[in-house]
Amino acid sequence: MLLEPLQCTLADGVKLSEVTFVVVDLETTGGSPTDHAITEIGAVTYRGGERLSAFQSLVDPRQPIPPYVAHLTGIDDLLVTGAPEIHHVLPSFLEFARGAIFVGHNASFDFGFLNANLLRLDYDPLEGPPICTARLARRVVWPDVPNVRLATLARYFRTRTIPVHRALADAEATAEVLNGLIELGGRLGITSLGDLREACTARGRPNFGKIRLADLLPRSPGVYLFEDRSGRVLYVGKAVDLRARVRSYFYGDERKKVQDLLGAVQHVRGIPTPNGEAEALVLEARLIARHEPPFNAHGKRWRRYAYVKIDPAEAWPRLKVVRTASADDGCSYLGPFSSSAGARQAKDAIEDVFRIRRCTRSMGVRTRFAPCALADMGRCLAPCDGRTGSEGYGELVGTLVSALGEPADLLAKLEARMDGLAAHERFEEAALARDRLRSVAGSLRRLRIDRWLTAGRLILRGAAGERLELIGGALARGGEPAPEPIGSPVPRERADELAAIRSWISRHPTRVELCEVPPSEPVDGGAALARILSALRESGRTPGGRPKGGR
């Protein structure tokens, strides 16, 4: 009986009752496909638990059969005398198995042995991956069954055929074991060919008992939320196929954190995102910031974000590292940075160029006290002892604030300092200067992009048809009220949300359909930013990452 060739291209969503399996067993002269040969092929085809046909043939291996193999299988040199050679048997077997899904017990052995012979004889290899009943048994009947040997499983499922190390009998027994595993697996949510393959390749101990939690999720892009019995959000993730991604958790994962999560989850909620990955990225960031799920590694990451701030309204302004930023306080901000350490790097870099005061003591217009060593070194204008007036100091502050918008001169000085240190073989100091330069340049680049993204209303169109409407930097989602604008400077609790849009735009061709503020930026510093960031990325790929000029 010929099977329909369409079987070999079945989609993973096809029900198992509609899949035709060819269950195969081989007897060989040894364990190496290169050095040993096949002595017998046995196979049966099944669909929906019904046996369709059988195939069996002895094979002349053209090499002596070792005594221990003959003792185990009952196949000796005399028995295979006159049997066809493998090149005569394979065409018939291929026709018999055409279009069916390959199954074996410890399937990699039989599958690999057959493919080695097919390739040697210039045939196309069998299509995989094969279904392994041993692997499947570890997912479905463990720990009820002490081991997954074929004889043990045959006893467990009370198969009619007893495996006796002969190809056809063992294939018949394997087929009955497969049917038993599929029946048990159906109660655990293994109902399609894709489910079966996932179960065979899963790692660790699966949590099939909760797999039904994914049954109502759509097969579409979106965001999923794992919740406990009280409705508390435990984990938020995104996926191209919500149902498939959530089900994959329950097929087994060796990581303890995942096992702890699955032990606590009682509900799974999915939110489709019609605009694909970009919308899913933003929604994921919003939900993580809102719920702070305990199993999201970065659930509270935004709380560590920091800014560099300068307040021109102060009597003697200085750079400060702060945790919050306001759009209407008249201050200038750089950031947010992923940590206060990153913000301090940028602050130190700017202070290397501008002789602004670094002391933390509060100062009024007439406050005076003894200057620090930086004043004597010429690295601070020292308003503390009156050597600099408010007008001169104000000009310095104004130049610093302007440099954040037009940073060409600032970047040139920072780069020259790094190169000078490297040229004098002061590599540790040069590396520190490089890190500071990277922190400043990266933040300035993000600031330029964010100012455009958060300015008014903006509609972008992706290459795949995604339509992204931003209102003050916040993505509008169909069917929901207009979002609260993000604005600039970006609040730290919404920084990941805007970063998702920025990242997506950088990775996908995007067309501007509407913008209230033209997509422009100050010319000064743009080329320098691009060049410096590119050079820093390249230096990070070299051993040691030494700055330009280092040995």
**Domain final residue pick, 250, 277, 299:** 299
Shared domain for 28 and 175, answered yes or no, is yes
Does 425 map to a domain? no
Q: What per-residue string of b and e applies to 206-230 under the rule 16 or more CB within 10 Å gives b?
A: bbbebbebbeebeeebbbbbbbeee
Does 236 map to a domain? yes
Give Cα separations from 133 to 136, 139, 155, 176, 409 (angstroms).
Answer: 5, 10, 15, 10, 68
Shared domain for 290 and 309, answered yes or no, is no
Shared domain for 225 and 107, answered yes or no, is no
Shared domain for 129 and 212, answered yes or no, is no
Shared domain for 191 and 216, answered yes or no, is no
Does 429 map to a domain? no
Does 541 map to a domain? no
pTM of the model: 0.62
Does 464 map to a domain? yes
Please, which contacts does 296-300 make with residues 24 or more away whose CB atoms are closer than 8 Å?
A: 296/235, 296/236, 298/496
pLDDT at 8: 39
pLDDT at 5: 36
**Domain final residue pick, 299, 318, 340:** 299
Shared domain for 377 and 505, answered yes or no, is no
Does 418 map to a domain? no
pLDDT at 207: 62
Does 415 map to a domain? no
Q: What does the alpha-carbon distance between residue 12 and residue 186 come to, in Å, rounded to a whole number? A: 15
pLDDT at 6: 36
Shared domain for 147 and 9, answered yes or no, is yes
Domain CATH for 234: 3.40.1440.10
Shared domain for 160 and 257, answered yes or no, is no
pLDDT at 32: 93
Q: Are 321 and 360 in contact (CB under 8 A)?
A: no
Q: Could you give the number of structural domains in the chain?
A: 4
pLDDT at 534: 78
pLDDT at 1: 31
Range of the domain at 480: 447-527
Shared domain for 138 and 217, answered yes or no, is no
Shared domain for 457 and 475, answered yes or no, is yes
Query: Residue 55: which H helix or E strand, with range?
Result: strand 50-58
Q: Which residue stretches of the chain have pLDDT < 70?
A: 1-12, 202-209, 251-254, 519-525, 539-551
**Domain final residue pick, 197, 229, 264:** 197
Q: What does the alpha-carbon distance between residue 196 and residue 213 come to, in Å, rounded to a whole number? A: 18
Shared domain for 295 and 373, answered yes or no, is no
pLDDT at 42: 96
Q: How is residue 126 written in tokens?
A: 């069998």
Query: Residue 336: which H helix or E strand, with range?
Result: strand 332-337
pLDDT at 307: 94
pLDDT at 171: 96
Amino acid sitting at position 518: P
Shared domain for 170 and 89, answered yes or no, is yes
